[in-house]
Amino acid sequence: MSWKVTNNERSQDQLLVNESLFALGNGFLGVRGNVEEGYGEGMISIRGTYINAYHDETPIEYGEKLHAFPETQQKLVNGIDAQTIYISVNGERFSMSAGTIHSFERTLHMDKGQLIRNVDWESPSGIRMKLMFSRFVSMTTKELFMQQVEIEPEEEADIVITAEVNGSVTNFSDPGDPRVASGHAERLHVTDCRAEGRSLLVTDETYETKLEMHVHSMSEVSAPADRTTEIKDGRAAEHYSLKTGERIVFTRWNVFTDTYRHGESLQERAENIIRKCGSFDEEAAKQQAYLTRFWEEAGLKIEGDDSLQQGLRFHLYHLLQSAGKDGVSNIPAKGLSGEGYEGHYFWDTEIYMLPFFQMTQPEIALQLIKYRYSLLGAAKDRAREVGHEKGALFPWRTITGGECSAFFPAGTAQYHISADIAYSFIQYYLVTGDISFVDEYMLEVLTEVSRLWMDMGHYKGGTFRIDDVTGPDEYTCIVNNNYYTNVMARHSLQWAVKSWELIGGDAATAWKEKLQLEEGELAAWQEAADRMYLPYNEEHGIHAQDDTFLQKKVWDLENTPDEKFPLLLNYHPLTLYRYQVCKQADTVLGHFLLEEGVDEEVMRRSYDYYEKVTTHDSSLSYCIFSMMAARLGDTEKAYDYFIKTARLDIDNTHKNTKDGLHLANMGGTWLALVYGFAGLRVDENGLRFRPVLPKAWESMAFRIRYQGRFLEVELGQDQITYRLLDGEDLSIDHFETSVTVQAGKEVHASYQT
Amino acid sequence: MSWKVTNNERSQDQLLVNESLFALGNGFLGVRGNVEEGYGEGMISIRGTYINAYHDETPIEYGEKLHAFPETQQKLVNGIDAQTIYISVNGERFSMSAGTIHSFERTLHMDKGQLIRNVDWESPSGIRMKLMFSRFVSMTTKELFMQQVEIEPEEEADIVITAEVNGSVTNFSDPGDPRVASGHAERLHVTDCRAEGRSLLVTDETYETKLEMHVHSMSEVSAPADRTTEIKDGRAAEHYSLKTGERIVFTRWNVFTDTYRHGESLQERAENIIRKCGSFDEEAAKQQAYLTRFWEEAGLKIEGDDSLQQGLRFHLYHLLQSAGKDGVSNIPAKGLSGEGYEGHYFWDTEIYMLPFFQMTQPEIALQLIKYRYSLLGAAKDRAREVGHEKGALFPWRTITGGECSAFFPAGTAQYHISADIAYSFIQYYLVTGDISFVDEYMLEVLTEVSRLWMDMGHYKGGTFRIDDVTGPDEYTCIVNNNYYTNVMARHSLQWAVKSWELIGGDAATAWKEKLQLEEGELAAWQEAADRMYLPYNEEHGIHAQDDTFLQKKVWDLENTPDEKFPLLLNYHPLTLYRYQVCKQADTVLGHFLLEEGVDEEVMRRSYDYYEKVTTHDSSLSYCIFSMMAARLGDTEKAYDYFIKTARLDIDNTHKNTKDGLHLANMGGTWLALVYGFAGLRVDENGLRFRPVLPKAWESMAFRIRYQGRFLEVELGQDQITYRLLDGEDLSIDHFETSVTVQAGKEVHASYQT
């Protein structure tokens, strides 16, 4: 069962959740798990089809607008809907809300990458038929969304199959919920809608960005049928009519193209692509082959808990489905599974999701990193606009590089995102060892990020300080010397200097010219790094989250009623800011990412202290606490936190899965396994593991890539096995000792007692 | 000349400024200084008539709305326009933009409270006539706006006089300036518009608040004339036609009523009022009598600088015109002279304007204070909404008590407004010595304000701390232990305890019941006051503006180009917050208001330090620096700062006088004279003066009321004269010595050398 996720519940709430859980995608195209024929009258569906980064712009309204507040926001646009298939039998249209459902099952098959729905249905007037709906968004032809319906009437009947392409779509707005702004729901309009030959062709264009999206849809029925077409209100439909008592198969190819990526004729592109598509079975076979390779590369295995194994596969599956793979898109906070967070990219990618790709799918990781690199110009512009004379300030949330955050205390003020991006570049370099990457991407980004710190930081009492930022914890905004920010800034400054040393020679000379590196800049970065102020509190023996955090009143979490969580929905931000109360890991995250030079006892006290004041109201929190618990040897607590991440969406514990999946939490689950239980860290010394295995599991295994090697790590009950599947001999640190593995061989190591 | 303000410039920019400078009002009704006939084609006029507190509600839009962000904003509504009078001669309509202006003068007469415009005009076809437009908003019948036009044609001609009442009005929006939101400009509509008998009657109603405003207008011509009326598009007009070569006089009474104050028929009220009105001369005589008394009571005199004397009178005149005198309205930040700040009331009243009224017009001061008292319930509700279990949180900006600030870091976060209000109550008590005021108003307000501090503050290291507020300086938001806030909070806590002691006995017992005073509450307030943390920096020997202000980078003001000021229009708030740079006096203001227990050398160093980092981008700043310079003995610097306040609007130095006058600055000018140069302080020991006289002046004199006395203070070149005009013997502190004055007598004292 662990390759399948099944959910047959049909309550209104669960239907919306299932639309997210059963969303299909490939990083370019995403189709929510809506049902082909729609729900019954009065039911709500968030019917969505998204092309990653395909967006419109909407004005941001402010009651009081100050200088350099962004004027517009980008918004992922719900695009042309090609999901719809209606099936009528003797004039009665199939619907899950009408007639009798004799049996029903809806299953996501993660091994073959298909969503399949089986229904044994009896129409209101008593005609029975079996239906099987299959669909997938192709991993091998990114523009392709395929559907198939097998129809098996119990007796001969008049069957009409209608396939529709609907260009008259809007983003979701709930007329019953005034909090969902409906003003900006309609973001595009139909510019072309026709039937031509065997094809349905619909083109839409967004209102402000003038981006076009096009669908070329074709279909066929396995038995002779009359075909008619109909064009109306921005919808193109085809109807197939036949009389049969046999099983018939309806197959449909939908190809999506857009002008965000390609300037040339998007109709022509779509036509060329659809012509090359194979049959459903052929395309499905390619899909399965792709996924087989993916699962082999990830190699994730947990023995002793099938439901957990299933949940973890589900997370990796959605990570794969959500990641932009073309260098001009990234991973939206909700993947391509919903409209929450407007399809924006956050630091979630770099800190929570990129490690998975980096360690298992480095070519996707590089595309994600190239995307960030492409924003550098915009980040430099943004820094100027805000008031910095030098450097690059990456936007807190964006699609194409403009700041889309409308609330700067928990948006633009999170300057750490620039350090997070630098961190991810450094990690990518450490994992790949690719010096050309430093030359082509990393040096420039780290240089501009370092310049930002130099522009905004200053010396006081011999230490370098960074004032007026917000760290990861959004319940404490606009502070001075946020530990996380400062330690991450130090890291980017150190590595900026190292980058210049690494490339050296002619390359350095060319870059010096291009980046107008001034005399003494490198020395200044090194000095700022060396003298970086990291607030430390003697009384508690911990690093303070910021200059004043530990002086504030402690929030009485114990006596806060359950219904007051998440706190941000129940208290004014000023009230939250006034207390020691954290939405998520902040200093603890800093210790996880950069433990060098931090005493283990400090990390332990820090963990204990911040755990008591953290609500985990953010889905980015549990995994960090899990990893740090593992790091500090408290395996069972690590397990408890881990379990809360493992089924967050499947069990809808945050109550908003309908708006889309929590992709960062999904990445965090993988982190918790690999960086938490296996204790992986990657630094200049190579790989280090500090494995621990929770009691609940018989074993846990995963695979990673590192500098040309392909390594499998298995945590058994009694020992750890390092198995080098491919590549040159590799020395790794197992706790404090060095272990060398050779290709095709394995070594065993023990747990620390 | 010093009773007159004349400005004959007719450029587009100055016309808009003059509309503010020549605005007339009485605290209830305000009419901008528009010209009766309007300007020429294509020229912009902010044509405005306002009833204080007459408002509508508009939604506040947020890109990201968090808990307890206000959903709507109140907005002073531009009301029915009764200014319009057209005069035609032989079919040619008089306009300042047509024909020839042979002479022109426009003068505000501050002694008689009238605005008079004289024009010697020749029509395009060569007919010449002299016109004199007079108008006033009555100080004695608050609903009455009177107009008179004297028309003197050089030769016999057909004259048509048209008087119009226009109900189809909107708030100002500039189609050429997208920054002025036009979406919310139209806030009311005409519900009744007719001519009846000799009257024009127009009634409007606001869209959301459903508040009605009504104008009853009547007029007469001194010579026989045909009268016709016309009703069209929400306008009621009357036309008087006659043929004459003589001087004729057109007189008009406009009476304004509203349902914000009175529920009963507003038409009937207006009719009753207009029936009781006398002739123009009779009403003008009452107006003059009122002003004569006002000027006597203020008794302001500066010898040696006529233009300054004029500027100061202009400020007091506008203060009088702007102050709500009915207990349900207050002083809008721009008075009733424009639409800037939406007609909202801020702390400007309590800290900058109330002292003038308290010391010279105590009955108006009491009305202003009663208004604040009336908001107590709303302030308690707001405190709960934000997350406080107890206490009252007064809104940063409001009309009827709801928070109207859409940007909380420089709005709601300015918790000091609650302390400012408490301070004003305490000052009022000190000036009047009225114990019944403590019982009726002060005890309750101070109790609820103290409860707010107890709820939000906490002990740390034995000191009581107040985190997460914004002080007066809006370039430094959301800080811990803002000195100003803490010292003001301490004052309100101390006086809350004193108030309970002052009323004592049965009154206290009743209040205990009513306010549910708990055992130990008073002791807790006293302890919090005693242990209030006031950040002090040893290195500089000054009080720090807040816990971290002095650790930040110092803004390089010297090398900031002129065009970058005011900084808030050129830098993102995060950039401003990051530096030691102040929009206005903050700690220095704290020292001015509460110097007890602060060493003079600390105040001096503080002044010197903060002066270097203050931009005075707020019009609330100069006067404070002026007063503190005087306090610290630097009379000439005090004078330099003072001069910048004295003509801020007349010279339009802040470039936004068109949006309305800077009332707080006007109050600050008086403060600078009386609390600055004369060095007045009022505390439990009575009055203290520390006079200094700038070299530029021969003498300066003013009058104040204090606990039943009427005192004149004259600063001559060689000596100071205290003259008790009325009341019982009074002992005052002159510097460190006590001086006693008797009624009808004067004493002389010397300057300190």
Taking contacts as CB-CB distances below 8 angstroms, the residues of chain A near B408 are 572-574
Strand ranges across the sheet with B737-741: B681-683, B686-689, B730-734, B737-741
Q: How confident is the model at residue A178 (pLDDT cuts 50, 70, 90)?
A: very low
Closest partner residue to B406 among A64, A412, A467, by Cβ? A64
What residues of chain B, 565 to 594, have a C-beta less than 8 Å from chain A?
A: 568-578
CB burial class (10 A; 0-12, 13-18, 19+) of residue B226? exposed
Rounded Cα–Cα distance for residues A236 and A192 (Å)? 10
Residue closest to B173 by CA, chosen among B313, B44, B38, B319: B44
Grouping H, G, I as helix, E, B as strand and the rest as coil, residue B689 is strand
> Does B286 have pLDDT greater than 50?
yes
Interchain proximity A412–B456, CB inside 8 Å: no
Predicted pLDDT at B33: 98
Q: What string of H, E and C letters represents the secondary structure of B71-84?
A: CEEEEECCCCECCC
Across chain B, mean pLDDT equals 96
Closest partner residue to B64 among A67, A407, A548, by Cβ? A407
Tell which of A65, A408, A416, A467 to mutate to test the B interface (max B CBs under 10 Å): A467
Interchain proximity B572–A68, CB inside 8 Å: yes
Say if residues B594 and B422 touch (Cβ distance below 8 Å). no
Do the annotations mark residue B718 as ligand-binding? no
> Does A176 have pLDDT greater than 70?
no
Distances in Å between the Cα of A72 and the Cα atoms of A69, A165, A258, B26, B337 are 9, 30, 22, 43, 34
Mean per-residue pLDDT, A323-341: 97
Specify the pairing of strand A553-554 against strand A579-580.
Answer: parallel
Say if residues A219 and A250 touch (Cβ distance below 8 Å). yes
- Across A493-502, b (16+ Cβ under 10 Å) vs e yields bbbbbbbbeb
Minimum mean pLDDT among A233-242, B256-265, B592-601: which range? B256-265
Predicted pLDDT at A628: 98
Rounded Cα–Cα distance for residues B735 and A112 (Å)? 92
Predicted pLDDT at A167: 98
Interchain proximity B547–A551, CB inside 8 Å: yes
Predicted pLDDT at A177: 56
Interchain proximity A408–B572, CB inside 8 Å: yes
> Does A545 have pLDDT greater than 60?
yes
Say if residues A450 and A522 touch (Cβ distance below 8 Å). no
Predicted pLDDT at B391: 98
> Does B181 have pLDDT greater than 70?
no
Measure in Å the smallest separation between the Cα of B45 and chain A Cα atoms: 24
> Does A434 have pLDDT greater than 90?
yes
Measure in Å the smallest separation between the Cα of A552 and chain B Cα atoms: 7
Predicted pLDDT at A621: 97
Measure in Å the smallest separation between the Cα of B203 and chain A Cα atoms: 30
Predicted pLDDT at A19: 97
pLDDT tens-digit series, residues B442-473? 999 999 999 999 999 999 999 999 999 999 99
Closest partner residue to B68 among A406, A477, A572, by Cβ? A572
pLDDT tens-digit series, residues B312-341? 999 999 999 999 999 999 999 999 999 999
What residues of chain B, 42 to 71, have a C-beta less than 8 Å from chain A?
A: 60-64, 66-70
> Does A647 have pLDDT greater than 90?
no
Rounded Cα–Cα distance for residues B70 and B59 (Å)? 9
Written as six digits, the tokens of B615 are 């931009």
Do the annotations mark residue B583 as ligand-binding? yes
Domains of chain A with CATH codes: 4-262 (2.70.98.40), 290-374+635-753 (2.60.420.10), 391-615 (1.50.10.10)
Residue closest to A627 by CA, chosen among A617, A637, A614, A615: A637
> Does B435 have pLDDT greater than 90?
yes
Rounded Cα–Cα distance for residues A285 and A136 (Å)? 11
Please name the residue that has the structure tokens 């967070």. A341
Mean per-residue pLDDT, A723-741: 97
Closest chain B residue to A463 measured between Cα atoms?
Answer: B551
Written as six digits, the tokens of B484 are 């100003």
Closest chain B residue to A415 measured between Cα atoms?
Answer: B574
Say if residues B284 and B114 touch (Cβ distance below 8 Å). yes
Interchain proximity A574–B407, CB inside 8 Å: no
Written as six digits, the tokens of B549 are 């202000």
> Does A71 have pLDDT greater than 60?
yes
Query: Is B539 near chain A, with CB under 8 Å?
Result: no
Predicted pLDDT at A342: 95
> Does A307 have pLDDT greater than 50?
yes
Taking contacts as CB-CB distances below 8 angstroms, the residues of chain A near B551 are 460, 465, 467, 480, 547
Predicted pLDDT at B262: 87
pLDDT tens-digit series, residues B78-107? 999 999 999 999 999 999 999 999 999 999
Residues above pLDDT 70, as percent of chain A: 99
Query: Rounded to the nearest 10 degrees, what angle do helices B505-515 and B483-503 cross at?
Result: 130
The torsion angle over the Cα atoms of residues B361, B362, B363 and B366, rounded to 10 degrees, is 130
Do the annotations mark residue A347 as ligand-binding? yes
| Alpha-helical segments (H) within A433-579 | 435-437, 443-456, 483-503, 505-514, 521-530, 573-577
pLDDT tens-digit series, residues A119-173? 999 999 999 999 999 999 999 999 999 999 999 999 999 999 999 999 999 999 8
Taking contacts as CB-CB distances below 8 angstroms, the residues of chain A near B69 are 572
Residues above pLDDT 90, as percent of chain B: 95
Grouping H, G, I as helix, E, B as strand and the rest as coil, residue B266 is helix
Mean per-residue pLDDT, A655-662: 94
Grouping H, G, I as helix, E, B as strand and the rest as coil, residue A502 is helix
Residue closest to A468 by CA, chosen among B136, B551, B629: B551
Size of interface A-B (CB pairs under 8 A): 145
Grouping H, G, I as helix, E, B as strand and the rest as coil, residue B479 is strand
Predicted pLDDT at B179: 45
Q: How confident is the model at residue A40 (pLDDT cuts 50, 70, 90)?
A: confident
Say if residues A336 and A30 touch (Cβ distance below 8 Å). yes
| Predicted TM-score of the model (pTM) | 0.95
Please name the residue that has the structure tokens 């109330």. B354
> Does B245 have pLDDT greater than 50?
yes
Backbone angles phi, psi at A244, to 5 degrees: -160, 155
Predicted pLDDT at B183: 60
> Does A657 have pLDDT greater than 70?
yes
Query: Is B462 near chain A, with CB under 8 Å?
Result: no
Rounded Cα–Cα distance for residues B608 and B542 (Å)? 10
Closest partner residue to A574 among B406, B413, B573, by Cβ? B413
Q: How confident is the model at residue A57 (pLDDT cuts 50, 70, 90)?
A: very high
What residues of chain A, 153 to 192, have a C-beta less than 8 Å from chain B?
A: none
Tell which of B57, B58, B60, B64 to mutate to test the A interface (max A CBs under 10 Å): B64
Measure in Å the smallest separation between the Cα of A446 and chain B Cα atoms: 22
Residues above pLDDT 90, as percent of chain A: 95
Interchain proximity B388–A413, CB inside 8 Å: no
| Cis? peptide before A566, omega within 30° of 0 | yes
Rounded Cα–Cα distance for residues A334 and A14 (Å)? 18
Interchain proximity A67–B571, CB inside 8 Å: yes
pLDDT tens-digit series, residues A466-525? 999 999 999 999 999 999 999 999 999 999 999 999 998 899 999 999 999 999 999 999
> Does B62 have pLDDT greater than 60?
yes
Do the annotations mark residue B348 as ligand-binding? yes
> Does A179 have pLDDT greater than 70?
no
> Does B632 have pLDDT greater than 60?
yes
Q: CB-side exposure of A666: number of CA atoms within 13 Å?
A: 30
Q: How confident is the model at residue B647 (pLDDT cuts 50, 70, 90)?
A: confident
Interchain proximity B62–A406, CB inside 8 Å: yes
Say if residues B100 and B121 touch (Cβ distance below 8 Å). yes
> Does A45 have pLDDT greater than 60?
yes
Interchain proximity B468–A63, CB inside 8 Å: no
- Show the CA angle centred on residue A172, arms to residues A167 and A176, nearest 5°: 130
Say if residues B702 and B674 touch (Cβ distance below 8 Å). yes
Predicted pLDDT at B195: 98
Measured in whole angstroms, the distance separating CA A502 from the mean position of its chain's CA atoms is 32
Identify whether A474 is a catalytic site residue.
Answer: yes
Query: Rounded to the nearest 10 degrees, what angle do helices B443-456 and B521-530 cross at?
Result: 70
CB burial class (10 A; 0-12, 13-18, 19+) of residue A566? middle
Taking contacts as CB-CB distances below 8 angstroms, the residues of chain B near A67 are 568-573
> Does B311 have pLDDT greater than 80?
yes
| Alpha-helical segments (H) within A552-697 | 573-577, 587-593, 600-612, 622-631, 635-646, 663-671
What residues of chain B, 368 to 397, have a C-beta less than 8 Å from chain A?
A: 385-388
Predicted pLDDT at B178: 47
Interchain proximity A63–B60, CB inside 8 Å: yes
Distances in Å between the Cα of B29 and the Cα atoms of B141, B143, B191, B664 are 10, 7, 21, 19
